Chains A and B, each alone.
Chain A
């Protein structure tokens, strides 16, 4: 079974400082990894994904994430945080294996990011 761990319920960072939201995963085979952001009472917005290729993935709104296979991690980063980045962030994984349920995403519990002015 696949799983995602986001060890921090909340991350606080000052505006302008770099931010990191942590994610580790467990999956059979090679993973497809995703980051999504959710604002209150809204659906999920796609930030970035790792499918294959370069381990450093650049996404929307200046976010990036680094795939580290040996550490089974996919931490989300941004060099300079904005107050508008304050939201709930979800890491998700999908197995590359085919078959029933293969399209399903498994989400972490989410990390609330608060950027302090």
Chain B
């Protein structure tokens, strides 16, 4: 089945540094990728939608300059958390629309970001 590989699984970084999270579609072309943020014991909050070759569409309240999304190819989308602060610590999950699967979606395994 369609698989999205998300890396890293977890990362610890110092305040002020940047962290890049990658999501790769392994056996299909991900035209559209969604990026979610999940706080402990809470639901998934959609941060942005990225389409290959175009600028990402950010949800209201999400800082575009802080959460940089790049979707330069059909198999790779990245989320870069710039100048990270402790309040950015969270669980980040990507998800791709899988064409030809009757409205299927596949999710990455998530990245636990801790900013110290």
Contacts and interface: CB of A to CB of B under 8 A. Distances in A.
B105 A41 contact: no
B32 A108 contact: no
B24 to A, nearest CB: 14
Q: How large is the interface on B (under 10, 10 to 19, 20 to 34, 35 or more residues)?
A: 20 to 34
A32 B103 contact: yes
A27 to B, nearest CB: 14
Interface stretch (A15-23, A42-50, A69-77): A42-50
A49 B43 contact: no
Given A41-B91, A44-B93, A104 B105 contact: no
Contacts of B106: 46
A92 to B, nearest CB: 9
A63 interface: no
Mostly, the B contact residues are strand
Q: Which of A43, A104, A108 has the most CB of B within 10 A?
A: A43
Interface in A40-92: 41-46, 49, 51, 90
Contacts, number: 54
Interface in B7-55: 9-10, 32, 34, 41-44, 46, 49
Contacts of B57: 100-101
Contact of B109 (A42, A107, A109): A42
Nearest to B34: A104
Nearest to B42: A109
B68 interface: no
Nearest to A34: B105
A20 B9 CA distance: 31
Given A51-B102, A104-B49, 5 more contacts: A34-B105, A42-B110, A94-B103, A103-B34, A110-B42
18 contacts: A42-B110, A43-B107, A43-B109, A44-B44, A44-B95, A44-B107, A45-B107, A46-B105, A49-B102, A49-B103, A49-B104, A94-B103, A103-B32, A103-B49, A104-B46, A105-B95, A110-B41, A110-B43
Interface of A: 32, 34, 36, 41-46, 49, 51, 90, 94, 100-101, 103-105, 107-110, 112
